[in-house]
Amino acid sequence: MSVSIVVPCYRSASTLPMLVARVNEVMPRVTVTYEVILVVDGGPDDTWEVARDLAKGNDRVRAIRLARNYRQHNALVAGIRAASNDVIVTMDDDLQHPPEELPKLIAALSDDLDLVYALPQDEEHGVLRSLASRLVKAGMAGPIGVQNARLLSAFRVFRSFLRQGFDQIYGPHASVDVALSWGTTRVGKVTVRMDDRAGGRSGYTFRTLVRHAVNMLLGYSTAPLRLVTYFGFVVGLGGLVLLGRLLWLYFGGTTSVAGFTTIASLITIFCSAQLIAIGVVGEYIGRIHAGGMGRPTYVIREQVDGDMVVYLSRGESPGPEAAADRPLTG
């Protein structure tokens, strides 16, 4: 097994040397073939200079510098696309994810799993942050339809053939976990130790997590469009109830304010028709939106060409020439 460890880096000049040193101490016990990819996501400090020097001094370390700050998931996508090994690990740069837990995480990626999330033994955040995190996961499990959303963690390991699901992802609102959910349902978890941040504070606050949830809801789901249609039916039902009451009072001879209920019921029914029409148009727009969000038509796990089995562990595009030129891996 060969492993690529992708680390998005932002304001982490003080922690990167220790992170790389601890990874290099631990990983030889797991595999002889591994790499550490440091993706520097902009930042005002000298994180790039530190990452560059680490890459120059160690052939197992690669450093990638993004043109500006694109945020964590976009940096992860850049690193995942650059990875060259069979298995990909993602972890934070602040030493909250102990490198000493890497063997446990990687070992949990058994033959019947494609993706494993590391969950903390103890709650690692405050009340508001934890609440926001749960809201994000609930939103991904509900409207977006990400299976096993409650297992999500930034400390994860997966087989690199799942990278095919990233091929069409463009734009500023990438979500690694949504893209991974498009490729597999074989997801597991493992409980690991999580440490306190080695320095600074997390860029994910309650506000940014809520904003992240809204971005994912609008970027990866058509649920808001359907909600307009459902709301139209509810308003229409209310209008019909008012109309029924109007007729009951009229034929019963007990109408107290002539015209009010008539106007209210008609306005409600017309509003319902408008909302339903908007919802129908929205469904068509939603289909266009769904086609542009980058969801793959399929993801290939492996391919058999005659007597040759090709495992797409590195996410290559399959084809006869690929099968002929590439040694079998698995």
273-320 residue pLDDT tens? 887 778 777 766 766 666 666 665 555 555 556 555 555 554 454 444
Question: Count of CB atoms within 10 A of residue 32's CB?
Answer: 8
Half-sphere exposure of 44 (CA within 13 A, CB side): 0
Distance CA 236, CA 223 (A): 20
pLDDT of residue 196: 78
Q: What is the pLDDT of residue 326?
A: 40
**pLDDT for residue 205 is more than 90:** no
pLDDT surpasses 80 at 47 = yes
Residue with tokens 């949504």: 178
CA distance 242 to 268: 9
Which of 48, 113, 39, 35 is CA-nearest to residue 73? 39
As a whole-number percent, the residues of the chain with pLDDT over 90 amount to 33
User: Which residues lie below 8 Å from residue 327, measured CB to CB, with a gap of 6+?
Assistant: none
Q: Which residue has the tokens 């498009």?
A: 182
Task: Please give the CATH number for the structural domain made up of 3-220.
Answer: 3.90.550.10
Q: What is the pLDDT of residues 89-143, one digit of tens each?
A: 999 999 999 999 999 999 999 999 999 999 988 765 555 555 555 666 565 556 5
Encode pLDDT of 49-68 as tens digits: 999 999 998 899 999 998 88
Q: pLDDT of 142-201, one tens digit each?
A: 655 556 667 788 899 999 999 888 877 777 777 888 888 888 889 999 999 988 776 655
Contact (Cβ atoms closer than 8 angstroms) between residue 35 and residue 62: yes
pLDDT at 25 over 90: yes
